[in-house]
């Protein structure tokens, strides 16, 4: 979009007011910070005033490779030897990952009760700017747990279409892509529910106490209700207080049979506020209910697994007769480096200390705001360079996207033109029944944009805002 349009203050102010109203009309909603558990007062979820340009080739590349990433995550989750080997050093020093791994081991020893596997994930990328001006799609991470904003991102295309029409740009308005991840995610949940085989059983959304972005999840729930699939919302405390397994390992919560547990909570240490929360997680994992994700798929999404997958020959192990799939996946990898004890890890430490601005230091955590950048990398690694605690991290090349200008609209925020960076996500959904893959699809996309002054953090963390790609 032209700078002439973006630098017309009167028009921008008018468009911003129209945009906020349209966001409310379309249901791009969030609860306010002051009352995060009440829907009495809501505001618009933060979003960009204009859609952001994204090269068509890399956008299509992200969508096309998603089914291979679905397959990869599923194969990793079934390979207990690979998970054991990949995470062996990490679980020695990272208590949270170790506790998850112990649950994984207990389930393996008892024998998995769950025959149906449901995966709802999101692979996130940034566009690395090459010296010749072209962009390369580089993966930041794959979220196998609580991949959010499938609901709200289904509602934002119409907002940007309307803004562009009001701005007198009907051609660009028609270029905004349809996008409905909520329907695709719900379709996969519905398939898993059907395979479970009880019309009286519920889909349980396991949620946290603070629910500011509840509308994002509600859109997926409403898609399920349209299919006559009942849903309930429970917390760890609820499962612990009223949850039980019968002799067939069916899960009951408040007397209701649960067919599918869709985890929206449980990916951060602070989600487990007591030992009872861990007991509830174990009980759910032991049950016949379809967990999304199950414990092994949760572990498949760790940063350490991401780093190990970048080693030569590892992808070939999971795709022995599919060189094209290996090529497509590997093309998205940024440089990933081990911090395990030994010569290779020592070399990684020295490399990071010599040029910390070229890398990102990543712990085994999800949810945004956990990564370490710049001078802080040097500070952390100088303290840990000879300690086994360094193996709780991996090192990754820093991706350098080209900034674009846009306005970031958020409640109470100033209307200023900012230099922005965008992150593209592709939603994947798959269902496996025993050995048979019943569904494997890319079901939509997510574009999030933030001011270039912020290194890390998503929409829920209050840094990024929702966006739409304008393909160029």
Q: According to the annotation, is 439 in a ligand binding site? A: no
Q: How far apart are the first and last CA of the chain?
A: 11
Given a contact cutoff of 8 angstroms between Cβ atoms, the answer to whether 155 and 26 are in contact is yes
Half-sphere exposure at residue 33, Cβ-oriented, CA atoms within 13 angstroms = 7
Of the listed 303, 304, 390, 432, which one is catalytic?
Answer: 303
Of the listed 70, 89, 123, 143, which one is catalytic?
Answer: 143
Element (H, E) at 391: none
Q: What are phi and psi for residue 139, nearest 5 degrees?
A: -75, 135
Q: According to the annotation, is 155 in a ligand binding site? A: no
Of the listed 172, 223, 285, 366, which one is catalytic?
Answer: 366
Q: According to the annotation, is 172 in a ligand binding site? A: no
User: How far apart, in whole angstroms, are the C-alpha atoms of residue 20 and residue 37?
Assistant: 22
Q: What angle do CA 57, 425, 196 make, to 5 degrees?
A: 120
Of the listed 296, 406, 448, 468, which one is catalytic?
Answer: 448
DSSP structure class, residue 369: S
Supply the angle between the helices 156-166 and 9-26 in degrees, to the nearest 10.
150
Q: According to the annotation, is 397 in a ligand binding site? A: yes
Q: According to the annotation, is 303 in a ligand binding site? A: yes
Q: According to the annotation, is 432 in a ligand binding site? A: no
- 367 catalytic, yes or no? yes
Tokens standing for 104? 């994984």
| Closest alpha carbon to 144 in 66, 79, 214 | 66
- 362 catalytic, yes or no? yes
Residues in the chain: 472
Tokens standing for 19? 């945009």
- 165 catalytic, yes or no? no
- 335 catalytic, yes or no? no
- 448 catalytic, yes or no? yes
Full DSSP string of 222-281: HHHHHTT--EEEE-HHHHHHHEEE-TT--EEETTEEEEEEEESS-SSGGG--SHHHHHHH
Q: According to the annotation, is 440 in a ligand binding site? A: no
- 13 catalytic, yes or no? no
User: How far apart, in whole angstroms, are the C-alpha atoms of residue 296 and residue 108?
Assistant: 10
Of the listed 52, 121, 148, 213, which one is catalytic?
Answer: 148
User: How far apart, in whole angstroms, are the C-alpha atoms of residue 152 and residue 231?
Assistant: 19
Given a contact cutoff of 8 angstroms between Cβ atoms, the answer to whether 257 and 229 are in contact is no
Of the listed 20, 52, 119, 141, which one is catalytic?
Answer: 141
| Closest alpha carbon to 440 in 118, 61, 114 | 118
Q: According to the annotation, is 61 in a ligand binding site? A: no
- 34 catalytic, yes or no? no
Of the listed 138, 286, 362, 390, which one is catalytic?
Answer: 362
User: How far apart, in whole angstroms, are the C-alpha atoms of residue 83 and residue 85?
Assistant: 5
Q: According to the annotation, is 369 in a ligand binding site? A: yes
Q: According to the annotation, is 279 in a ligand binding site? A: no
Q: According to the annotation, is 328 in a ligand binding site? A: no
Q: According to the annotation, is 364 in a ligand binding site? A: yes
Q: According to the annotation, is 55 in a ligand binding site? A: no
Instruction: Give Cα 248 to chain centroid, integer Å.
Output: 33
Q: According to the annotation, is 37 in a ligand binding site? A: no
- What are the percentages of helix, strand and coil residues in the chain, rounded to 5? 40, 25, 35
Q: According to the annotation, is 393 in a ligand binding site? A: no
User: How far apart, in whole angstroms, are the C-alpha atoms of residue 340 and residue 89?
Assistant: 7
Q: According to the annotation, is 4 in a ligand binding site? A: no
- 27 catalytic, yes or no? no
| Closest alpha carbon to 37 in 271, 209, 220 | 209
Q: According to the annotation, is 423 in a ligand binding site? A: yes
CB neighbourhood size of 171 (10 A): 7
Q: According to the annotation, is 362 in a ligand binding site? A: yes
- 366 catalytic, yes or no? yes
Of the listed 20, 31, 122, 138, which one is catalytic?
Answer: 122
Instruction: Give Cα 137 to chain centroid, integer Å.
Output: 17
Q: According to the annotation, is 266 in a ligand binding site? A: no
Tokens standing for 436? 């048979």
Of the listed 367, 374, 457, 462, which one is catalytic?
Answer: 367
Q: According to the annotation, is 367 in a ligand binding site? A: yes
Binding residue positions for Mg(2+): 141, 143, 366
Binding residue positions: 122, 141, 143, 217, 303, 362-371, 373, 396-399, 423, 448, 450, 456
List active site positions.
122, 141, 143, 148, 303, 362, 366-367, 448
Binding residue positions for ATP: 141, 303, 362-371, 373, 396-399, 423, 456
Binding residue positions for substrate: 122, 217, 448, 450
């Amino acid at each position: 979009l032209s700078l002439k349009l973006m630098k017309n203050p009167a028009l921008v102010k008018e468009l911003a007011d129209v945009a906020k109203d349209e966001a409310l009309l379309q249901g791009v909603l969030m609860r306010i910070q002051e009352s995060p558990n009440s829907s009495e007062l809501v505001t618009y979820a933060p979003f960009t005033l204009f859609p952001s340009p994204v090269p068509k080739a890399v956008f299509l590349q992200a969508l096309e490779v998603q089914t291979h990433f679905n397959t990869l995550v599923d194969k990793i989750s079934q390979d207990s030897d690979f998970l054991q080997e990949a995470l062996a050093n990490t679980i020695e020093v990272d208590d949270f990952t170790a506790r998850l791994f112990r649950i994984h081991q207990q389930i393996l020893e008892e024998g998995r009760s769950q025959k149906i596997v449901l995966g709802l994930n999101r692979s996130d990328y940034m566009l690395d700017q090459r010296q010749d001006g072209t962009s390369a799609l580089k993966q930041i991470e794959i979220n196998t747990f609580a991949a959010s904003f499938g609901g709200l991102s289904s509602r934002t295309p119409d907002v940007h279409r309307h803004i562009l029409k009001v701005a007198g740009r009907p051609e660009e308005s028609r270029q905004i892509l349809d996008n409905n991840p909520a329907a695709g995610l719900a379709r996969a949940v519905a398939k898993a529910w059907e395979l479970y085989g009880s019309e009286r059983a519920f889909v349980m959304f396991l949620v946290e106490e603070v629910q500011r972005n509840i509308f994002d999840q509600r859109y997926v729930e409403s898609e399920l209700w349209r299919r006559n699939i009942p849903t309930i919302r429970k917390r760890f405390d609820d499962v612990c207080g009223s949850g039980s397994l019968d002799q067939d390992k069916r899960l009951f919560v408040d007397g209701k049979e649960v067919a599918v547990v869709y985890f929206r909570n449980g990916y951060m240490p602070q989600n487990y506020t007591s030992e009872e929360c861990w007991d509830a997680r174990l009980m759910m994992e032991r049950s016949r209910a379809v967990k999304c994700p199950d414990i092994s798929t949760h572990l498949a999404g760790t940063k350490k697994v991401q780093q190990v997958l970048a080693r030569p020959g590892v992808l070939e192990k999971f795709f022995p007769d599919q060189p094209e799939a290996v090529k497509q996946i590997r093309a998205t990898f940024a440089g990933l480096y081990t911090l395990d004890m030994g010569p290779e890890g020592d070399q990684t430490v020295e490399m990071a200390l010599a040029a910390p601005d070229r890398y990102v230091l990543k712990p085994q955590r999800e949810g945004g705001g956990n990564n370490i950048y710049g001078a802080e990398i040097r500070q952390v690694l100088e303290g840990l360079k000879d300690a086994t605690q360094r193996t709780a991290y991996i090192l990754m090349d820093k991706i350098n996207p080209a900034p674009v200008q846009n306005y970031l609209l958020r409640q109470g925020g100033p209307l200023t033109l900012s230099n922005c960076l965008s992150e593209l996500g592709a939603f994947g959904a798959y269902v496996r029944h025993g050995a048979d893959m019943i569904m494997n699809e890319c079901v939509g996309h997510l574009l999030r944009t933030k001011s270039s002054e912020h290194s890390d953090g998503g929409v829920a963390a209050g840094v990024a805002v929702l966006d739409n790609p304008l393909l160029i």
